[in-house]
Amino acid sequence: MSMSFSEQLRRNAEPWWSGAVEHPFTVQLGDDSLPNAVYLRYLLQDYAFIGTLADHAALSIAAAPDMASKGVLAGFLAALTSAENDYFERSFAALGLEPAQYRAPALNPVAQLLAREMRDAQACGYADMIVVLACAEWVYLSWAQREAQKAPPTRFWLHEWIELHVLPEFEAFVAWLRAQLDSFGDLNAADRERLEQRFSRMAWLEQAFFDVLLTEQE
């Protein structure tokens, strides 16, 4: 039985894929041992990045080839701008930050590279835009599924972040993204190679994003 294109992309993205999914940051998050100062740095960067991700999702909706795809992506965008945004605001409040402190933080160098990768994908079209989304969201589903098997962290901002990424709706969205990736396996060799390179770059960036958070701790 031949390997699906999504699985091919994941395997070709090693060692960065496993480096992101199994990163000490994600393990410490699930163990409830991650220092608040480190998680707050993460939240600030991720919240700044969520705006970029929401824009990317909106542009993906516009580029989607059919109404069914537009509907799935619209559901993801709705979750980003409602439940997920609410989580961030409650977490910042619990960690003692005022809105002025988290609404426009400067992006660190890796977050800037992630934003650039998204802009580059947007210039290339729908398949590239889906590859960026699929890698990022599949990484989060993968580590969250592992950490959800542990006793939940006592701090709600850690516990709920895991929960958000193992919701049935999120699992279904990642399954849909993987099916989209599989459909790109019919593209020509040059397009497939470009998508493989983009997926691997995204996996590397996801690992690097976690790396820099723990490096800043030292």
CA 207 from chain center: how many Å? 11
Torsion, Cα 64 70 74 76, to 10 degrees, reads -70
More confident residue, 105 or 80: 80
Total structural domains within the chain: 1
Provide the CATH number for the domain around residue 35. 1.20.910.10
2 pLDDT band, cuts 50/70/90, is: confident
Q: Which of 152, 117, 210 is nearest to 32 (CA)?
A: 152
Q: Which of 5, 102, 96, 100 is nearest to 46 (CA)?
A: 102
What is the C-alpha separation between 203 and 16, in angstroms, rounded?
Answer: 5
Q: Which pLDDT does position 218 carry in this prediction?
A: 46
Look-up: residue for tokens 């399954």? 175
Reported as a single tens digit per residue, the pLDDT across 165-218 is: 999 999 999 999 999 999 999 999 999 999 999 999 999 999 999 999 988 654
Q: Which pLDDT does position 71 carry in this prediction?
A: 98
Percent over 90 (pLDDT), the chain: 89
Reported as a single tens digit per residue, the pLDDT across 31-49 is: 999 999 999 999 999 998 8
Q: Which pLDDT does position 50 carry in this prediction?
A: 85
Q: What is the DSSP letter of 83?
A: I
Reported as a single tens digit per residue, the pLDDT across 120-158 is: 999 999 999 999 999 999 999 999 999 999 999 999 999
Q: Which pLDDT does position 1 carry in this prediction?
A: 60
Residue 51: count other Cβ atoms within 10 Å of its Cβ.
15
Q: Which pLDDT does position 217 carry in this prediction?
A: 53
Residue 187 structural domain: 5-215
CA dist 198 → 5, 51, 134, 140, 160 (Å): 14, 21, 11, 17, 30
